[in-house]
Amino acid sequence: MAQRVERSGLQVAEVLARFLESRALPGTGVAEQDFWDGLSALIHELGPRNRALLARREQLQSQIDDWHIAQGGAEHDPEDYETFLREIGYLVEEGPDFVIETPPTDPEFARLAGPQLVVPVTNARFALNAANARWGSLYDALYGTDALGDVAPRGAYDAGRGARVVAWAKAHLDRAVPLDGASWSEVRGLAVEGGALVAWTSGGEALSLAPQARLADPVQFVGHQGDADEPGAILLRANGLHIEILLDRSTPIGSADPAGISDVWVEAALSTIMDCEDSVATVDAEDKVLAYGNWLGLMRGDLQDSFEKGGQRMTRRMNPPFAEYAGADGRPVRVRTRSLMLVRNVGHLMTTPAVLDRDGQEAFEGLLDAMITVLCAIHDLRAAGGAANTATGSVYVVKPKMHGPEEVAFACEIFDRVEQVLGLPRLTVKLGIMDEERRTSANLRECIRAAKERVAFINTGFLDRTGDEIHTSMEAGPMVPKGDMKAQPWIRSYEERNVDIGLACGLRGRAQIGKGMWAMPDRMAAMLREKAAHPKAGANCAWVPSPTAAVLHATHYHLIDVAARQEEIAAAGARGTLRELLTIPVLAGRNLSEAEVQAEVDNNVQGILGYVVRWIDAGVGCSKVPDIHDVGLMEDRATCRISSQALANWLHHEVVDEPRVMAAMRRMAGVVDRQNAGDPDYRP
């Protein structure tokens, strides 16, 4: 039992009070008593409202369950169903057209399109890697993954593979930043003359006598480092993202390259969500302090982590916030070297034993997260040398698992109160709305309207959204297998409407429209083939599972102009319909074979067991977990949500029975034991 102290009518775990009073509050300008009084008021005044919203969820769910039960398993009329949802208030009336009024956001939201990382904030090393993933080596990403179609050989550097990496990278430069009349593979030297990039190509003994080539689009040249006639780095830009060509003939790779190019670095993870929610295992006050402490260190810029690697002790720190180049016009150019950081709070559902109210009830964790994560961000806003994370004085908070417009409006009210208590200008906090609950998807326009002064982010996600799809319509009938969900009308409409509605509400130029995670960090060749679909869909950010994946996904944005795609999509008009979105993915008389049923049960059971041993036993919220085919997937609690809902649905409708599921549990336990056999801390 945690030791507690009394603060303004709250019973606060001592470890949390000590963290706030000794680490988080000093330097913010917020007085201790004002903070505790404000937190107490937030919990005691908004806590009952929070409970009422959750009760409303339950009421609506009960009404939907009863409606489906009354259908007796018969196929329902879509028009009757939609009318019913409007009558009970699940679907709300849409107001007139509008555009969001969010104050200016950082370029990573307003102008740039690129990869986004999501990492558990409780793991300092992962958080630091993500913060530093704004830039990464394209050569390393290609060499060390299967991006070229095969995996890197073990052991010493393989010159043949290195040559393939260089060829791939230069072919990409030909597409992203082409030279006029020449290929990057022909370049023998680079220099800057008169504010322009000059490339010497083939011919002549002396480099000065060789033919010259310049960029096909001179505007793509941004600047350089080092001497103009012998630069150490050339900075280019494609669709807003920077590409840095490093030149160093003293290195093994540079000495073998005709132009002395030793590496190509790309601007990769433009933004990172530091996650306090699904990808962490924060159960008690000590866990919450770890999460808040790491977020505080990121906001102060002093977070570091020491670890053993290859027999050596290493310490990881944050990159300096900026790098400087001599610009094309001769003036200095400053470029960001850290990913712009957002923080994901928990949703409205969760409570925490870290703080008890005056009645001894656990406080809603979302209220605690709101106050403390924004408090920690003040250190960035008040930094003596200027904020390193935000150029616009913003704090970006992602709010997950909200059900409909009234819950979004409640989140905005929470941040109104937080800003008042902490003495911040109103609308300092910009809100990210995760479109992962069915009631939010169906009312997305009105959800955005409820946050029109704050919204800076909307996105889609398959696992949680499908889990809620099954849960909401549990009584409608047995659902199709998980693998078939992506071909269902509802999810196509969901993905299209998210972009269409976001654009219609004016998010372009102010906010991110995001797409979900590529879950297979070891399948980079497949990611390069498939994930270009996300920028083509008009998303100006999409989730990737690692800094390396961010580097490779960045190459898609070099070639796809997302702003232009958004213009095309907006001009074409709305695509997915509400009727399609409300199409319930039931089997509808389809007969599954015994093999199909068994494969689905085994897949769900293995997913639950494989993740739970990491989440519960190891206390790791998100990690690479082998699936039933031994493919490593980045998994978090959404894995348990979708798999458990799918199994519950089939049990409820007697597609399978409990003995069959338990037999699968025992069988898959052996699979999970085998997959974890190399872990000395694993308990079978």
Q: Which residues is 136 bridged to in the sheet?
A: 266
How far lies 151's CA from each of 142, 522, 636, in Å?
Answer: 10, 9, 26
Strand partners, 455: 431
Candidates 439, 445, 636, 637; catalytic one: 636
Q: Say if CB 660 and CB 488 are below 8 A apart.
A: no
Q: How far apart are CA 488 and CA 492, in angstroms?
A: 7
- Kindly report each contact of residues 91-99 with a partner whose C-beta sits within 8 Å and lies 24 or more positions away, as own/partner: 91/442, 91/443, 91/578, 92/404, 92/405, 92/443, 92/446, 94/445, 94/446, 95/446, 95/449, 97/504, 98/449, 98/452, 98/505, 98/506, 99/452, 99/505, 99/506
Q: What angle do CA 346, 350, 355 make, to 5 degrees?
A: 100
Residues in contact with 245: Cβ distance below 8 Å, sequence separation at least 6, in sequence order: 173, 190, 233, 234, 236, 261, 264
Other CB atoms closer than 10 Å to residue 128's CB: what's the count? 22
DSSP-assigned states of every residue in 139-207: HHHHHHSSTTSSPPPSSS--HHHHHHHHHHHHHHHHHHS-BTTB-GGG--EEEEETTEEEEE-S-SSSG
* CA separation, residue 275 to residues 70, 282, 302, 538 (Å): 41, 11, 18, 25
Long-range contacts of 670-675 (CB under 8 A, 24+ apart): 671/606, 671/628, 672/606, 672/609, 672/610, 672/613, 675/610, 675/626, 675/630
Q: Check residue 310 and give left, alpha or beta (phi > 0: left; psi -120 to 50: alpha).
A: left
The single residue of 316, 344, 454, 637 carrying the catalytic annotation is: 344
Residue closest to 468 by CA, chosen among 644, 605, 246: 644
Distance from C-alpha of 109 to C-alpha of 106, rounded to nearest angstrom: 6
- Residue 428 gets which letter from DSSP? -
* Cα distance between residue 304 and residue 352, in whole Å: 27
In sequence order, what are the residues at sequence separation of 6 or more whose Cβ sits closer than 8 angstroms to the Cβ of residue 553? 114, 115, 268, 518, 527, 531, 542, 544
Residue 589 burial class via C-beta count within 10 angstroms: exposed 0-12, middle 13-18, buried 19 and up? exposed
Is position 344 annotated as part of the catalytic site?
yes
d(CA 163, CA 169): 10
For this structure, is 106 an active site residue? no
β-pairing, 395-399 with 340-344?
parallel
**Cβ-contact 262, 251 below 8 angstroms:** yes
3-class secondary-structure state, position 422: helix
Active site residues: 344, 636
